[in-house]
Amino acid sequence: MTSVPDTAEPVEQLQLESEEPRSSRRVSRLLLSLFWVGAGVNHFVNPRFYEAIVPPSLKDEAAGVVRWSGVAELVGGVGVLLPATRRLSGIWLIGVLAAVFPANIYMAREPDQFKQVPRWALYARLPLQPLCMLWAWKATRR
């Protein structure tokens, strides 16, 4: 008589392993959404801060740039939570990060204009941009 191997443990382990990435992706999406919704709201709560970091070439339009970037961040942050818009929202947020990158470069190149921000933080923001892009991409793929 042939014995049947006990497969309950590996199947159970497989289920746990497949649920773990799903759970961490869910947490990552939630954190991504909270980050962007918070950042978007902050554009309307503290517009002067954001207007000050608008590069000189856009200074005449600073108020509008700040409002529209705040709206863009809100839309992307909310869209991450909705399955129907999740993937598009990830691409949207990557675009938003690319669009605001010149402000980060401006801040790093003109540290005397932003004395309230530690100099190291002005430079640390630059490599964080691509990392945030990667986060937006990975969190919104499924």
In tens, the pLDDT along 52-86 reads 999 999 999 999 999 999 999 999 999 999 999 99
For residue 89, pLDDT over 70 is answered with yes
Helix axis angle, 86-109 to 119-139, nearest 10°: 170
Q: Are 140 and 90 in contact (CB under 8 A)?
A: yes
pLDDT in tens, 35-51: 999 999 999 999 999 99
Residue 136 has which token pair?
């937006």
* Model pLDDT, residue 16: 47
Residues 94, 73: Cα–Cα separation, whole Å: 10
Q: Which residues contact 105 (CB under 8 A, 6 or more apart)?
A: 55, 126
Question: Are 125 and 107 in contact, with CB atoms under 8 Å apart?
Answer: yes
